[in-house]
Structure 1
Amino acid sequence: MQPPAREALAKARRSAIHLETRDSYMLDDPAFIAWQNGRRLDITDRSSWWNGWHDHVAAAVSRGVTVRRARVVSEPLHPYALYEYDLTPGNLAAGEAVRWLGRRHAVDLLLPATDFWVFDDETVLFHHFTGEGQLAAEGREYRTDPDLAKALTAAFEAVWDRAIPHTEYTPAI
Structure 2
Amino acid sequence: MDLEGVLMASITDEEFENLLTGFAHEAVHLETRDAYGTAVELPHMAQWAAGEEDDLRWLQGWCSTLREHVRAGKNVRRARIVSEPLSDYQRWSHSIAHPMVEAGEDIRWVPRRLLSSIAIPGNDFYLFDDRLAVFLIYAGNGLAVDKITSTDPGDVRLCRVAFEAVWKLSVPHHRYEPV
TM-score, normalised on structure 2? Answer: 0.86
Establish whether residue 149 from structure 1 lines up as the match of residue 149 from structure 2: no
Of the structure 1 ranges 152-161 and 23-32, higher mean CA displacement relative to structure 2 is found in 23-32
State the number of aligned residues. Answer: 166
Check if 1:98 corresponds to 2:107.
yes
Provide the alpha-carbon RMSD of the alignment: 1.8
Match of 1:3 in 2: 12
Q: Helix, strand or coil for the counterpart of 1:149? A: helix
1:53 is the counterpart of 2:62 = yes
Q: Kindly provide the amino acid, as one letter, of the partner of residue 96 in structure 1.
A: E
Q: Are residues 1:84 and 2:63 paired? A: no
Contact 1:125 1:140 in 2 (8 A): yes
Task: Note if contact 1:116-1:126 (Cα within 8 Å) is conserved in structure 2.
Answer: yes
For residues 102-121 of structure 1, the aligned pairs below 5 Å read 102-121=111-130
The equivalent residue for 1:38 is: 51
Q: Which sits farther off after the overlay, 107-116 or 145-154?
A: 145-154
1:3-52 Cα offsets, whole Å, 9 max, x none, are 3443212111110000000000017711111111113556xxxx745422
Counterpart contact for 1:16–1:120, Cα < 8 Å: yes
SS at match of 1:51: helix
Q: Percent identity?
A: 35
Match for 1:170: what amino acid? E
Structural mapping, 1:113-132, within 5 Å: 113-132=122-141
TM-score normalised by L of structure 1: 0.89
Structure 1 residues 53-83: Cα deviation after superposition (integer angstroms, max 9, x where no partner): 2222222222111000000000000000001
Partner of 1:168: 175
Structure 1: stretches of 5+ with no match in the other structure: none
**Pairwise mapping of residues 4-23 of structure 1 onto structure 2 (< 5 A)?**
4=13, 5-23=16-34
Q: What amino acid does structure 2 have at the position aligned with 1:26?
A: G
- What is the SS of the residue equivalent to 1:109? coil
Change (3 A) 1:76 1:117: same
Post-superposition offset of 1:171? 0.7
